[in-house]
A and B are shown apart, each in its own frame.
Chain A
Amino acid sequence: MSPVVPAHAPDAAGRLARLADVTASDSALRRFLHGLPGVDAVGLEARAAGLGTRSIKTTAKAYAIDLAISMIDLTTLEGADTPGKVRALCAKGVRPDPTDRTAPQVAAICVYPDMVAVAKDALGASGIHVASVATAFPAGRAALSVKLADTAEAVAAGADEIDMVIDRGAFLSGRYMEVFETIRAVKLACARPGGTSRAAGSGGGTAAHLKVIFENGELSTYDNIRRCSWLAMLAGADFIKTSTGKVAVNATPPNTLLMLEAVRDFRDAVGVQVGVKPAGGIRTTKDAVKYLVMVNETLGDDWLSPDWFRFGASSLLNDLLMQRQKLSTGRYSGPDYVTVD
């Protein structure tokens, strides 16, 4: 495993080695995950709701809007995706607001593996990453060999980031080690000679960044989400991601808050910083700002960058752009003043 090791934690390797004990056997892993502090649902939801009442105005709002735009994984994950659709999305990612060149570009374009090459080509030297949902997205119900092939293909086509889904069935039936080993295997499949990676401090980039998708709506309990967070981080996830966007319950403020607390505790324990990506259902500026407030007050400045926090979204960008226009002109425009791609 080649985790992201921030400069402030030189002893991370040692601490990780000690933690290796907990992944030595199925029962050790189970004991560890079930020994994590419980989650009180009422308290967690109350805290998330409380953070949602922060009033972000004027300069703080302008800052938050630009930050949110720069954190977007602009996404198209439809069966009907075509190269034309993907190229249009890439163009939008590079220049979100044709009328205002100060609008920042997005962090990444997120597509299915077969569209990676198209996106890579369309983005050129923009610096925007290509993220790809590999590993039999969104169900994750395929043989390990299929998942690894899916991943390898996306990486070979130039994907900078791999968004993998876990096998929720395996997790829910308690086969934690199976999930752990799958993540490890996919992480190895992310390795690529001479590729680019944003992995801070990893020096040179030899692997696509791995985001592990839990599908929180199917994990169902908050205790499961915390256990899954630790499981994924122990297995080497660079990011943990709430959901695929394909089920009824996707990212919510409470389940994202819980994952933020998990990455904070993981860094405290191990010295390794992991990113968080809520995905699905975040459509408005107001919602996005609430998530940024949550990051700000739970993790602080260290995570307030596209390197460590992302929004998985397709329609959020336009609302951010309309709010951005409102702040600069003093007037609301309308949906025809932002592009539809």
Chain B
Amino acid sequence: MTSTHQKFAYAPAPESRAIVDLAPSYGLFIDGEFTEAADGTVFKTVSPSTEEVLAEVARAGEADVDRAVKAAGRAFTKWSALPGAERGKYLFRIARILQERSRELAVLESLDNGKPIRETRDFDLPTVAAHFFYYAGWADKLDYAGYGPNPRPLGVAGQIIPWNFPLLMLAWKIAPALATGNTVVLKPAETTPLSALFFADVCRQAGLPRGVVNILTGYGDAGAALVAHEGVAKVAFTGSTAVGKAIARTVAGTRKKVTLELGGKAANIVFDDAPIDQAVEGIVNGIFFNQGHVCCAGSRLLVQESVQDEVLDALKRRMSTLRVGDPLDKNTDIGAINSPEQLARITALAEAGEAEGAERWAPACELPESGYWFAPTLFTGVTQAHRIAREEIFGPVLSVLTFRTPAEAVEKANNTPYGLSAGIWTEKGSRILSVASKLRAGVVWANTFNKFDPTSPFGGYKESGHGREGGRHGLEGYLSEAAGPTSAHDGHLQALPGGEREGERDR
């Protein structure tokens, strides 16, 4: 026995930030060059965990959007004419460079976003590289993707991504676009611009032809200009439902193709025969992964009444072991909230939960003094009528509802304007299949939650958006089926006199 009975307290295990070489200021990445904004305006990006200013970044305006789209348009001619295998080589090269630089990028992402290093290191970066590897493999096999023989790229893709997984969302957007022969103008979120700029450097390192990828850092006005630009053939957006609706209005009536990946309010359904310990892990992973800044987060826990106490006791015990704090500490489970605006929104919704009568619980945890923080929070006694059961909170706040029968679980799970994801926990295989088939959600996880794979399509129902990203399905949004040889052949047949077809004449 050790002489004095202390506690097993983990010493800080900080990842070094020296591996990231941050410049004081960054420009826009247009046509293979870093350049200032046309009107010279800049904005600052801060570290959410310390409020320290990390760098100054150029703020793109309408003129910059125009420059970038034109550069991408010029690059499109050559890029789309490359054989698929050649495009694949560039993508493989990017994937390998991302792997080589993964530690640097993980630290950078953690600094700029506030998410814990263990997530950027163990989840974000490996998944980012996996997406590029996956779509690199598709580049020379598009004829066999199920979108007709010789499907064609669309042109310039205008892509707008959110701040919750900056580099991963970039990968989801850029990898399929380049694999299919499109060129890209991408606007990262204003609070997390840095990893996209580092990715621009990765593109240069890979020798990617100029103009194929352009990065415009900026605010919503730049995004709006990008969506509206006549040179853009395809709009891909991930973010809030409100902005998604505005984009849909802008492109309505144009020939632009659109995919939208929007909000969610996923039901995580725990039946009484669930593997309880693993379900608790899944609930924690479902809502506290990435501080709950996940559009498919399992933010509504639907637990069968007969096991409610058991599950809640276990969940509270587990939540008490979550470590909140310095994102660069390798032992941190929950990092900082990305921005003061988001913190205010989470705070307001949590207060609404209390005001509407739900019972609030959070484990005792000390939050750092500077930066934006919110303790992992649980609401019990929540009903479908509460705001916290209906609105997306996008933070570490879990609402617990109960049900008595599978039918009631399905009814409550589907009773939402959203439909991005859902989870089912039961040891009974037939119940997984029957419930999953009734849930109106793009992804249904069984006995797990928040698992992602580049080969698996992702997207939503209803206000969670339309279109799919990832997998073979993710190619569809970047391809046109109006293919050359097939339509030419059809035209020839229609031109035959009397509408007769070759080969039918002698029958």
A residues at B contact (CB < 8 Å): 37-40, 42-44, 46-47, 53-61, 63-64, 66-67, 70, 104, 261, 292, 296-297, 301, 304-307
Q: Is B489 an interface residue (CB 8 A)?
A: no
- Chain B 1-39 near chain A by CB (<8 Å), digits 1 or 0: 111011111111100000000000000000000000000
Partner pick for B331 among A43, A55, A66, CB 8 A cutoff: A55
Chain B neighbourhood of A301, CB < 8 A: 7-8
One of A38, A42, A66, A104 near B427 (C-beta < 8 A): A38
| A96 smallest CB distance to B (angstroms) | 13
Closest to B426 in A: A38
Select B1's contact among A38, A70, A292, beta carbons within 8 Å.
A70
How many Å lie between the Cα of A305 and that of B6 in the bound state?
11
Report the Cα distance A248→B211, complex, angstroms: 57
Pairwise interchain contact A43-B11, C-beta atoms closer than 8 A: no
Query: Nearest-CB distance from B222 to chain A (Å)?
Result: 38
Contact A47 B281 (CB under 8 A): yes
Given A55, A58, A261, A307, which contacts B277 in the complex, CB threshold below 8 Å?
A261
> Separation in Å of the A306 CB from the closest CB of chain B?
6
Chain B contact-residue range equals 20 to 34
| Given A38-B275, A43-B447, A43-B448; A60-B9 close (CB under 8 Å) | yes
List, sorted by A's number, 21 A–B pairs whose CB atoms are closer than 8 Å: A38-B275, A40-B275, A42-B278, A43-B278, A43-B279, A43-B448, A44-B277, A53-B122, A54-B10, A54-B330, A58-B11, A59-B11, A63-B2, A63-B6, A64-B8, A67-B8, A104-B1, A104-B3, A296-B8, A301-B8, A306-B1
Tell me, rounded to whole Å, the shortest Cβ–Cβ distance linking A4 to chain B. Answer: 17
Q: Do the beta carbons of A55 and B13 come within 8 Å of each other?
A: yes
Once A38-B273, A53-B118, A55-B330 are accepted as A-B contacts, the answer to whether A47 and B8 lie under 8 Å apart by CB is no
The digit string for B98-130, where 1 denotes a CB below 8 A from any CB of A, is 000000000000000000001000100000000
Q: Does B389 contact A (CB under 8 A)?
A: no
* CB of A91 to closest CB in B, whole Å: 20
At the interface, yes or no: B65 with Cβ under 8 Å from chain A? no
Chain A CB within 10 Å, residue with most, of B2, B7, B273, B274: B2
Chain B residue nearest to A62 (CB atoms) is: B11
For window 433-466 of chain B, which residues contact chain A by CB distance below 8 Å?
447-448
B13 to A37, Cβ gap below 8 A?
Answer: no
Determine if A37 and B275 form an interchain contact, defined as CB atoms under 8 angstroms apart. Answer: yes
Residues of A within 8 A of B321 (CB): 297
User: Which A residue sits closest to B284, measured CB to CB?
Assistant: A47
> Quick check: B118 and A46 within 8 Å, CB to CB?
no
- The interface residues of chain B lying within 8 Å CB-to-CB of A57 are 11-13
Q: How long is the Cα–Cα vector from A42 to B448 in the complex, in angstroms? A: 8
A304: chain B residues within 8 A (beta carbon):
8
Roughly how many angstroms separate A246 CA and B332 CA in the complex, as a whole number? 38
Q: Complex: how many Å from CA A163 to CA B278?
A: 30
Cα distance A46–B277 in the bound complex, in angstroms:
12
List, in ascending order, chain A residues with CB within 8 A of B274's CB.
37-38
The answer, yes or no, to whether B276 is at the interface (CB within 8 Å) is yes
Complex-state Cα separation, A305 to B447, whole angstroms: 34
With a cutoff of 8 Å between Cβ atoms, the chain B residues found around residue A60 in the complex are: 8-11
A84 to chain B, nearest CB (A): 29
Most buried by A among B7, B9, B118, B278: B278
Name the residue in B1, B12, B122, B447 with the highest tally of chain A Cβ atoms < 10 Å from its Cβ.
B1
The answer to whether A40 and B278 have CB atoms under 8 Å apart is yes
Instruction: Beyond A40-B427, A44-B278, list 7 extra A-B contacts (CB 8 Å).
Output: A43-B279, A47-B278, A54-B330, A56-B13, A67-B8, A70-B1, A305-B1
Given the complex of chains A and B, what is the CA–CA distance between A305 and B7 in angstroms?
11
Whole-angstrom distance between the Cβ of A177 and the nearest chain B Cβ: 25
Flag if B275 contacts A43 (CB, 8 Å). Answer: yes
Chain A contacts of B331 at CB under 8 A? 54-55
B121 → chain A closest CB, angstroms: 9
A residues in contact with B427, CB < 8 Å: 38, 40
Out of A56, A104, A305, which one reaches B10, CB within 8 Å? Answer: A56
Whether a CB of chain A sits under 8 angstroms from the CB of B282 is: yes
Find chain B residues with CB under 8 A from A306 CB. 1
Chain A residue nearest in CB terms to B282: A43
B448 proximity list for chain A (CB < 8 A): 42-43
Query: Does B118 lie within 8 Å of A63, measured CB to CB?
Result: no
Judge whether B277 and A37 touch: CB under 8 Å.
yes
- Shortest Cβ gap from A236 to chain B (Å): 24
* Distance between Cα atoms of A39 and B279 in the complex (Å): 10
User: How many angstroms between the C-alpha atoms of A54 and B13 in the bound complex?
Assistant: 9
Closest to A58 in B: B11
Tell me how far the C-beta of A321 lies from the nearest C-beta in chain B, rounded to whole angstroms: 15
Give the residue name and chain of the A residue nearest to B12 (CB).
Answer: A57
Are A104's CB and B2's CB within 8 A? yes
How many angstroms from the CA of A138 to the CA of B7 in the assembled complex?
Answer: 36
Q: Is the CB of B11 within 8 A of A292?
A: no
Chain B residue with the shortest CB-CB distance to A268: B313
Q: Considering the complex, which residues of chain B in the window 382-439 have a beta carbon less than 8 Å from any beta carbon of chain A?
A: 427
B2 touches A66 (CB 8 A): yes
Residues of A within 8 A of B8 (CB): 60, 63-64, 67, 292, 296, 301, 304
Q: Are B1 and A39 in contact (CB under 8 A)?
A: no
Contact with A along B323-353 (1 / 0, CB 8 A): 0000000110000000000000000000000
Residues of B within 8 A of A70 (CB): 1-2
Residue of A nearest to B8 (CB): A296
CB distance from A71 to the nearest CB of B (A): 9
- Tell me if B330 and A39 are in contact (CB < 8 A): no
Closest to B5 in A: A305
Q: Say how far B17's CB is from chain A's closest CB, in angstroms.
A: 16
B window 243-290: CB within 8 A of A: 273-279, 281-282
Flag if B10 contacts A39 (CB, 8 Å): no
Which residues does chain B contribute within 8 Å of A58, judged by CB atoms?
11
- Please report the C-alpha to C-alpha distance between residue A297 and residue B322 in the assembled complex, in whole angstroms: 9
Query: What's the nearest-Cβ distance from chain A to residue B168, in Å?
Result: 19
On chain B, the residues within 8 Å of A47 by CB distance are: 277-278, 281
Q: Once bound together, how far apart are the Cα atoms of A104 and B13, in whole Å?
A: 26
User: Which residues of B, 350-381, contact A by the 8 Å Cβ criterion?
Assistant: none
Q: How far, in angstroms, from A67 to B5 measured CA to CA in the complex?
A: 10
Residues of chain A lying within 8 A (CB to CB) of residue B1 = 70, 104, 305-307
